[in-house]
Structure 1
Amino acid sequence: MPEDTEDMDPLARITALETEIAQLRHAVTARATVDQAMGVVIAYAGVTPETAWEILRDVSQHTNTKLREIAEQIRQWPHCEWLPDEVRHALGAAVLARSAQPPATGAAVPDR
């Protein structure tokens, strides 16, 4: 519950609680997307979950794109078989930098 809601009038308290609920729903959805993107990175690069998280973070930082947006693009990548060039290059570089072994056979980042 938001801080100091007990001292608020009922309408303000309801508004504060509704705002908090919306933020929590957004966080849960974003977390699920990040977890799924981590799974794609794990399958693609054969890395641990911790390394997959670091790779997502690296791609986000190097493309100056919010992590949840990168996660959504990578989550959809196996279905649409396309990543934006900037993301594709950053992903390849992050995987090379963070993994001891190359990506799984046949799992090259597409040039599309």
Structure 2
Amino acid sequence: MAEPAYDAEGDAGAGGLRAEASGAPHARPLPEIALRAEGERVAVEIDGELDLESAEQLEHALRAALAAAVGAVDLDLAGVTFCDCAALNVLLEARERGLRQGKPVVIRSAAPVVERLLDLTGTAPLFAGTDPDPHHDDDAPVPPEDHGGEQDLRVEVVQLRRAMQTRPVIDLARGILMASFALSAQDAWRVLVDASQHTNTKLHHLAHDLVDAVEGDPPPEAVQEQVAAAVARVRSASPAGARADHVDE
């Protein structure tokens, strides 16, 4: 995959940076990623699909944003039409890199597809971010109940590790669905999300059930039925004549 170029004179306007793909054409358009300097912060606006194919482009853009930022990196994901675990893993890695540099990576706005993924993986709080209170007195005593910062950090680390560890099994489960039902990568992801919601099962637990089935342990009958029903719902919702490798949102 070609490395994105960042053009300070691009569409982002004065002081902005623009990420654009170059090189050989892809099966579908890569997302548009615009970087814009806002004082000490850098805003990143993304429109389009975030998946395995665009993961490298996203990683390069976030690295550029962290390099340019003095303060936080603000993500505007309201224009994202699809987001999978490959993209989430890139976001988590960027957040971890930002923490090491003292530059928070914060999601300021997100499309429903992104919010659903963050909720399913329990990673939404990691990107919440809070701005310091301009009226806060640094010399004021800290109430005892506010001494939970260390515990909060530990919880964040656990959530981060869990999300990164569950990505491989989720990707395996998506591959199983693609092979079993002749689904595109996007439709296989939608089946996982749909079945997870209808069975009230965590996404990575459902993925484990599907992967275990390949090794000889069939998933519970209720899970099998919901997966089959999810496949039917996703297929019925897909536009007629859509290509096997791409389904429009």
* Structure 1 and Structure 2 fold alike (TM over 0.5): yes
- How has the CA–CA distance of structure 1 residues 64 and 18 changed in structure 2, closer, same or farther, with 3 Å as cutoff? closer
Q: Tell me, in whole angstroms, the C-alpha distance in 1 between the residues paired with 2:231 and 2:156.
A: 36
Alignment RMSD (CA, Å): 2.7
Partner of 2:178: 42
Name structure 1 gaps, 5 residues minimum. Answer: 101-112
Q: RCO higher in 1 or 2 (8 Å CA, sep ≥ 6)?
A: 1
Name structure 2 gaps, 5 residues minimum. Answer: 1-98, 100-125, 131-137, 139-147, 237-249
Q: Tell me, in whole angstroms, the C-alpha distance in 2 between the residues paired with 1:13 and 1:60.
A: 32
Give the deviation of 1:33 after TM superposition. 1.6
Partner of 1:92: 228
Select the structure of larger CA radius of gyration: 2
Give the deviation of 1:92 after TM superposition. 1.0
Aligned residues: 96
Alignment partner of 1:51 out of 175, 178, 187: 187
Write the deviation string for residues 59-104 of structure 1: whole angstroms up to 9, x where unpaired: 111111111111111121111241101100001111122237xxxx
Q: Taking every aligned residue pair, what percent have the same amino acid on both sides?
A: 32
- How has the CA–CA distance of structure 1 residues 83 and 20 changed in structure 2, closer, same or farther, with 3 Å as cutoff? same
Partner of 1:70: 206
Write the deviation string for residues 13-61 of structure 1: whole angstroms up to 9, x where unpaired: 7766554333221111112221111011111111011100100111111
Structure 2 letter corresponding to 1:99: R
Which of the pair is proportionally richer in strand? Answer: 2
Q: Tell me, in whole angstroms, the C-alpha distance in 2 between the residues paired with 1:16 and 1:62.
A: 31
